[in-house]
Structures are given as C-alpha cells and as structure tokens.
Amino acid sequence: MILSLYVGRTAWMTAMKKSVSNRVVLVFLTIIASACTSQHQLAVSSEPSGVPGARPSTSPTLSLYRASRDATVQVISAKGGSRGSGFLFGAGYVGTAFHVVGVKDDNGTVTEAVHDDLRVRFATGEEIPATCISIPRSDEKDPVKFDFAILRLSARPKALVVPLTFAHSPLPDIGDLVLFSGYPLDVPMMVSHQGLISGWIAEPGLLALQAPINKGNSGGAVLNQDGQVIGIITLREGGIAKGLEELRSAIKSGNETVFTRINGVDPLAGFAAIVDTLNKYISTGIGYARPIRYLATYARRHGITSQ
C-alpha cells in the first residue's frame, strides 16, 4: 500500500515537473520576445529626428500623440477594483470597454451589471463621476457582445479637452500604422505606443494589433494616421495567459492533493505566486481591438452625439 502511494506520488510529481518545465520554457521565451518588441517600440518613438541633441519634431505623428493623450482617460471603480483606459468623444461622453465597467461574478466572468461608483480621471489629475448609459438589455446585448461601454460625465472637465472623432472608412489595411494611449499595469503615468494592424476579421469585427497590449490598456482608443478612432482595445493575446491560468489550476489541484512543505515553506504556493505575477505583467506584443462601428452604431441608435 505504502509502495503504491509512493509510486503514484512519484509519477504525479514527474508529470508535474515535465509540465512545469515546458510551461517555464514557453514563459521565458515569451518574456524575451516581449522585451525585444518593447525595445523596438521605444526606438521608434524616442528618435524623432535621428540627430543627437536635435529639438523634437513637429511632425504629424507627434501631433497625433498629443491628440491621443489629451483625450485619453482612466476609468476607475473602487468597489470592483477595476482600472482601465477610455477616451473622450462627443459632448461629455467617454468610450471604454464593457469589461472595464462590468461587475464580475465569483468566477471572474463579466456579468451584464455595471459598477455604480465609476470615476473618470483625466491627464490633469481631475476626477469626475460618470454613469454607464449603455446597459445591456434582453433585446440588446451589443455592449457585452462587442465589449464597449459609453459613460456620461456628471460635469465637464475644467481643462479644455478636444474629443476624438470616429473613422467612417472601411476596415484598415494590413500594415497600417496606429497609435494608442492608456494606463497599463501599475505605471504611475499615461503611456503611449505605436503599432500596426497585423490582421482583422470582418464579422464579427476584430482587429489584431502588433503592439504591447497589457492589462489596463483595455478601453483605450486606437487611432489611425488621421487621428480618428478606428477601434477600442479589448484584450491582449490570450495564448500565454491561458497557458498560465491552466498552470495555476494545475498547481492548485496538486496543492489540494499533495501537501509538500520544505522547511515550513510550500513550494507550490510560491510557484503559484510567480505564475500570477507573470500572468499580470507579461505581454506577447499582440493585442486585439473591436472596430469603433459597434459603439458608433449604438450611439446613433440611442441619440448620443458622437462627433
């Protein structure tokens, strides 16, 4: 009996080590690739003229960055512990992703309910309460289905902010340059990035972006080279995140059946903490956005001025 338990535990630990080993290799390869992508993005945006010591250029690209940053906001719910990005449009409206404002159930799934303590923080630091006015209904599920939300500010911002406008052109071409701003992860300031369209699906609409998308970028506006909104960031590439979540589940399952401690320390719990940290901060350099047409169509249907 003891021998059977030992053999069974040994086989389980061997399989676990093999699975963990494969996952760890994948994770670190992804980290290296992500770092290379980030360095490339930095090189693109930090050398406006290519001449050491030269004054910043007044190129159209820098003007687009300013427009993006001026209209970008952070959307916050203290009750839900949620922080995402958003953008000002129309007369006192903010666009964002529905999963930024939606209430999550115990399993982390976004429900059709929204937080009632939403606040919008502008680049100036000013915060204004906001209300979600795109509540899903039984006969209208588009906000959840296409992951968009429209917030109405309770007051106008003190500083002058030029709202963004929506693009009405067809889907962008592969290779088109785009830019976006937002509040990813725990960075203490707004950050802006340049990327490109690397793919798209017409129906249901989805844009693939070659850009460093991270948690917290959700809800940010993707701008084309005319400074118009073509999409709303909805998620980062899910392959590595899914793998980490599966690994986390395997660790949790193993911890429930095998209680292993070394000098009073649970190694599986320690490894789980590492996995959680990687899942929060890792970026594959690929993300997705929903075309702005879904939010624009909803706004027109409900008499919300978007321009």
* Strand partners of residue 84: 75
Domain that holds residue 23: 2-42+238-281
Mean pLDDT over residues 236-259, rounded?
58
| CA gap 268, 137 in Å, rounded | 43
Tokens 């701008």 correspond to what residue?
223
Q: Are residues 38 and 83 in the same domain?
A: no
Residue 136 pLDDT greater than 80, yes or no: yes
Q: Are residues 33 and 98 in the same domain?
A: no
Q: Are residues 180 and 226 in the same domain?
A: yes
Mean pLDDT over residues 152-157, rounded?
96
> Band of the pLDDT at 140, cuts 50, 70, 90?
very high
Report the SS3 class of residue 60. Answer: helix
- Is residue 227 included in any domain, yes or no? yes
What is the pLDDT at residue 154?
Answer: 97
What is the pLDDT at residue 32?
Answer: 40
- Is residue 50 included in any domain, yes or no? no
| CA gap 293, 256 in Å, rounded | 47
Upper half-sphere CA count for residue 227 (Cβ side, 13 Å): 18
- Is residue 55 included in any domain, yes or no? no
Can you give the CATH number for the domain in which 178 is found?
2.40.10.120
Q: Are residues 289 and 242 in the same domain?
A: no
- Is residue 49 included in any domain, yes or no? no
Residue 19 pLDDT greater than 80, yes or no: no
What is the pLDDT at residue 227?
Answer: 95
Q: Are residues 127 and 229 in the same domain?
A: yes
Residue 49 pLDDT greater than 50, yes or no: no
If one counts the domains in the chain, the total is 2
Q: Are residues 168 and 133 in the same domain?
A: yes
β pairing state of 127-132 and 191-201: unpaired
What is the pLDDT at residue 8?
Answer: 47
- Is residue 100 included in any domain, yes or no? yes
Q: Are residues 232 and 255 in the same domain?
A: no
Q: Are residues 289 and 268 in the same domain?
A: no
> Which letter does DSSP use for residue 49 in this model?
S
Q: Are residues 271 and 227 in the same domain?
A: no
Mean pLDDT over residues 271-277, rounded?
59
Structure tokens at 190: 């707004």
Structure-derived torsion over alpha carbons of residues 27, 33, 37, 40, reported in degrees to the nearest 10: 140
**Rounded to the nearest 5°, which phi and psi values hold at 221?**
-85, 130
- Is residue 80 included in any domain, yes or no? yes
**Mean pLDDT score across all residues of the chain:** 78
Q: pLDDT tens digit string along 76-129?
A: 999 999 999 999 999 899 999 999 999 998 877 899 999 999 999 999 999 999
Q: Are residues 19 and 84 in the same domain?
A: no
> Band of the pLDDT at 171, cuts 50, 70, 90?
confident
- Is residue 84 included in any domain, yes or no? yes
Q: Are residues 233 and 244 in the same domain?
A: no
Residue 53 pLDDT greater than 70, yes or no: no
- Is residue 52 included in any domain, yes or no? no
Mean pLDDT over residues 22-38, rounded?
43
Of 3, 4, 77, 15, whose CA–CA distance to 250 is shortest?
A: 15
**Rounded to the nearest 5°, which phi and psi values hold at 42?**
-65, -40
Q: Are residues 229 and 276 in the same domain?
A: no
Structure tokens at 42: 């930095």
